[in-house]
Amino acid sequence: MQRKYISIGTILMAISVALGAFGAHVLKSIIDENALGTFETGVHYHMIHALGILIASLFVGQWGESRKILWANRLFLIGIILFSGSLYLMAITGWKWLGPITPLGGVSFIAGWLFLASAAWTRPTK
């Protein structure tokens, strides 16, 4: 699990940097300021939670395999897709009907952090 999610996390980080550059250099002249802010929020949360995947994966090296850490990583990935993905699409296309999807991603982020906290709290002490 560790190598897989470290790979996923690093790829997601690279994508977030590329999307940030795309927003700053390409979208800035195409979409309005409000839509650009929405896009930037998506990039911000995308990057934070890609780092969350990397951090959680590094904990596996310290604490050992854990279903809670696995679920934290899965939920971070789902959150990036739902939260950031819906913000990206809303900003670029103007499709407001995607708005109800965004909070589902936010809940996934929160649940992921809670799973990671639970993994830390319940791990055996040495």
Q: How many domains does the chain have?
A: 1
Please give the model's pTM, rounded to 2 decimal places: 0.93
Instruction: Please determine, for residue 105, whether its predicted confidence score (pLDDT) is greater than 80.
Output: yes
Domain that holds residue 73: 2-122
Residue 126 scores a pLDDT above 90: no
> pLDDT tens-digit profile of 6-50?
999 999 999 999 999 999 999 999 999 999 999 999 999 999 999
Provide the H-helix boundaries in 64-101.
67-79, 85-93
For residue 70, is pLDDT > 80? yes
Q: Is the dihedral of CA 26, 29, 30, 31 positive or negative?
A: positive
**24-53 burial, b if ≥16 CB within 10 A, otherwise e?**
eeebeeebeeebbebbbbbbebbbebbebb
Question: How many Cα neighbours within 13 Å face the side chain of 105?
Answer: 22
Other beta carbons within 10 angstroms of residue 11's beta carbon come to 12
CA 47 – CA 37 distance, rounded (Å): 15
